[in-house]
Amino acid sequence: MKVAAVILSAGRGERLGADIPKGFLKLGDRPLFLYSIMAFDALKPLEGGVVVVPEGWEEEAEAHLKSFQKPWKVVGGGATRQESSFRGLLALRDSPPDYVFLHDAARPFVSSELLARLLDCAPQAVIPVIKSVDSLAEVQGRWVHGFLDRERTFCVQTPQGFPYRRILDAHLRAQAEGIRDAPDDASIYLRSGGRVRIVEGDRLNFKITLPEDLERARGILNGAFLRPL
């Protein structure tokens, strides 16, 4: 089975207040997006993949990828996560894999154990999830409309794995239907009639969105914070 990865690093990072794209912010001694590349590059079945970065940052990304053993193509992203994901999938069309992972580079601590759990489910579509530890309210404006059943509600992470041709077809259908801002690839896959399995995620696999998330990640690298239980 031929496996590839699409690493999504096209976010501008406005909520971080940064003056450069989020994926190029330094975490330790390297840009944030490289942590995901390192994890996937070490995955034995993986044959390579695509890194999606903001348009105009392709050369900068390519300069950081020269030392990796597997081939990584760099493409410019779109205005939304969905469009960036679609462009990444299209970039694999010339030599299509059987199976593809899509991962947010803003989650730098994806582990080899999590990747192994996901790969064990291939060729089925699969996503990692973690149980919500808080009550979840459904609100309208500033008023509580109801509460969701915590036993049936999970927080979704990436990487998300799919049969390549089916997730590409699902994206093509979404484009044809005028869907432009889906929250993730699994939602697009479900809309097309696909089924998605779940595996246990990892609380360390959090997404860097706000300044405090970046400080937490730096603290983990420096040993200031323990791995969450």
The more confidently predicted of residues 194 and 229 is 194
Please report the pLDDT score of residue 49 as a whole number: 97
Report whether the peptide linkage leading into residue 163 is cis, meaning its omega lies within 30 degrees of zero.
Answer: no
The encoded tokens of residue 89 equal 């999938």
Left, alpha or beta for 87 (phi > 0: left; psi -120 to 50: alpha)? alpha
Model pLDDT, residue 229: 39
Read off the pLDDT of each residue in 20-37 and give the average, rounded to a whole number.
96
What distances in angstroms separate CA 153 from CA 63, 117, 121, 126, 149, one per listed residue?
Answer: 41, 20, 21, 16, 6
pLDDT digits (tens, 9 = 90+) for 41-70: 999 999 999 999 999 999 999 999 998 989
Q: Of 112, 212, 74, 93, nearest to 164 (Cα)?
A: 93
Share of the chain above pLDDT 70, in %: 97
> pLDDT at residue 30 above 50?
yes
| Amino acid making up residue 210 | L
Question: Could you say which DSSP state residue 23 is in?
Answer: G
CA distances from 182 to 72, 83, 170, 171, 186 (A): 26, 9, 12, 10, 9
Question: In this structure, which amino acid lies at residue 20?
Answer: I
Structure pTM? 0.94
Q: What is the pLDDT of residues 113-162, one digit of tens each?
A: 999 999 999 999 999 999 988 899 999 999 999 999 888 899 999 999 99
pLDDT at site 228:
46
φ and ψ at residue 130, rounded to 5 degrees:
-130, 150
The amino acid at 219: G
* Vertex 126 angle, CA 121 and 129, to 5°: 115
CA distance 154 to 210: 21
Calculate the average pLDDT of the chain.
94
Residues 6+ apart with CB under 8 A from 218: 27, 28
Residue 223's pLDDT is 78
Whether the CB-CB separation of 39 and 135 falls below 8 Å is answered with no
| H or E stretch at 36 | helix 33-41
pLDDT reported for residue 14:
81
Specify whether the CB–CB gap between 5 and 100 falls below 8 A.
Answer: yes
Please report which helix (H) or strand (E) contains residue 83, including its range: helix 81-90
Instruction: Quick: pLDDT tens for 195-226.
Output: 999 999 999 999 999 999 999 999 999 875 54
Give the right CATH number for 3-221 from 3.90.550.10, 3.40.50.2020, 3.20.20.450, 3.40.640.10: 3.90.550.10
Contacts of 132 (CB under 8 A, 6+ apart): 150, 153, 154, 155
| Whole-number pLDDT of residue 224 | 53
* pLDDT (average), residues 19-35: 95
